[in-house]
Amino acid sequence: MPGKFLTGDGGRAAAPHAGATRERRAMSQRALRIWSIVHRWTSLVCTAFMLLLCLTGLPLVFGHELDLLTGDAVEAPTLPASQANRRASYDAVLRAALNEHPAHVPQYMIWEPDEPLLPVVVTAPRADTPPDDTLSTTVDARTAQPLGMPPGKGSLKFVLLKLHVDMFAGLFGKLFLGAMGVVFLAAIVSGVVVYLPFLRKVGLGRVRLAKKRRIVWLDWHNAIGMLTLAWALLVGTTGSINTLADLMLEAWRNDQLAQMIAPYQGQPPLVARASVDDAVQTAQRVAPDMIPSFVAFPGTRFSSPHHYAVWMRGDGILTTRILRPVLVDASIGALTDSRELPWYLKVLLGSQPLHFGDFGGMPLKIFWAAFDVLTVVVLGSGLYLWLTRHNPRKGRASAAR
């Protein structure tokens, strides 16, 4: 988007109205030049990174389909009708995963909303092992049989996701991309302001096909930019919020979680653990209108050294991202505490489906992908306009207008 949203008079806005004074016209022109400079440089700063995010985000929109294409998808086998409604215990599912990796300890047991029959058990050498060094095992929830491992480190999906989330730079990479997202939002807003005089003069989305090539590129840049305006603002804002997830989780741990586990400070490490089934049943009694989203085992970031944290979620399309943690004493399976999440984590959870477009099935995926491609066109055309700004034909094109 580095190309300026030039107006039909070569970048100088038309007078606000016919009766405006010369001073007001000069002030308006100065303000427009400032906005143009803001748009130019904010666009130049963020364009390369926005292109990276768009190009890596596009295949991630079709994450399941990508797994099928690469052969990494794990699907539930067909069982006889008499066994279709069976459900193995959560403890049996956990044992099946640990049998695959005997030297590991459990970190999480996860149920994806669209794959309730395929819980994923995340294991690692230690409870505090970083996410990139863990292993995941998909287990059939009906038979407690391990079905394989989802795409892991080194897979195409993993590489795309890491580039999209943090560029393999950890928290610094996330925060840097979040800053680029804010700069991108500034580029969008400033671009709209610079485009408004041209819009009022000739109408929204006009493309002057009879003009020189650079003018045609400029008009397409402006028109497609206005078409994708709402989507780009939405995805840019929610993406910037998502980059703060680690900081928000740490704030929750230092605030609410610290209050809930305060009575356990100084207690010795766990010797034996209660049943996972008992922990989930305790959580279901606390939140009877919700269903399990994932269980965080003792010692992980989403729990404490002495607790199962059973994270319950809503059971509807609009409530599936609403989570409530229930802390269960991991030694006896009794309830410790449960509280609603603070507002900032609610904002984070609400922003995630809006960013990824993964809540409306294939039609929404196609819509998200189409606007992703259009945004790439806006970014690419803006870059072209910047790189060709010293083209000797530029002066002749400006004169032709």
Query: pLDDT tens digits for 352-376?
Result: 988 988 777 899 999 999 999 999 9
Q: Between the CA of residue 320 and those of 18, 64, 328, what are the distances in Å?
A: 55, 19, 22
Statement: residue 210 has pLDDT above 80: no
Question: Token digits for 253?
Answer: 């741990």
Q: Between the CA of residue 249 and those of 154, 253, 303, what are the distances in Å?
A: 27, 6, 11
Q: Which residue has the tokens 């699907």?
A: 75
Query: What local confidence, expressed as pLDDT, does residue 215 receive?
Result: 84
The whole-angstrom separation of Cα 219 and Cα 203 is 12
Q: What is the mean pLDDT of residues 163-172?
A: 95
Q: What is the pLDDT of residues 294-310, one digit of tens each?
A: 999 999 999 999 999 99
For residues 391 and 132, the model is more confident at 132
Statement: residue 330 has pLDDT above 50: yes
Statement: residue 395 has pLDDT above 70: no
Q: What band does 9 get if pLDDT is binned at 50, 70 and 90?
A: very low
Q: Which residue has the tokens 């294939």?
A: 362
Q: What band does 5 get if pLDDT is binned at 50, 70 and 90?
A: very low
Statement: residue 23 has pLDDT above 80: no
Query: What local confidence, expressed as pLDDT, does residue 32 receive?
Result: 87
Statement: residue 112 has pLDDT above 70: yes
The whole-angstrom separation of Cα 33 and Cα 190 is 11
Give the DSSP letter string of 96-164.
HHHHHSTT-EEEEEE--TT-TT--EEEEESSTT--GGG-EEEEE-TTT--EEE--S-TTSHHHHHHHHH
The whole-angstrom separation of Cα 375 and Cα 306 is 47
Q: What band does 400 get if pLDDT is binned at 50, 70 and 90?
A: very low
Name the percent of the chain lying above pLDDT 90.
63
Q: What is the mean pLDDT of residues 276-281?
A: 96
Nearest Cα to Cα of residue 296 among 326, 264, 267, 268 = 326
Q: What is the mean pLDDT of residues 220-229?
A: 92
Q: Between the CA of residue 356 and those of 57, 178, 235, 247, what are the distances in Å?
A: 8, 15, 8, 20
1 alpha carbon, distance to own chain's centre: 22
Beta carbons of 321 and 353 less than 8 angstroms apart: yes
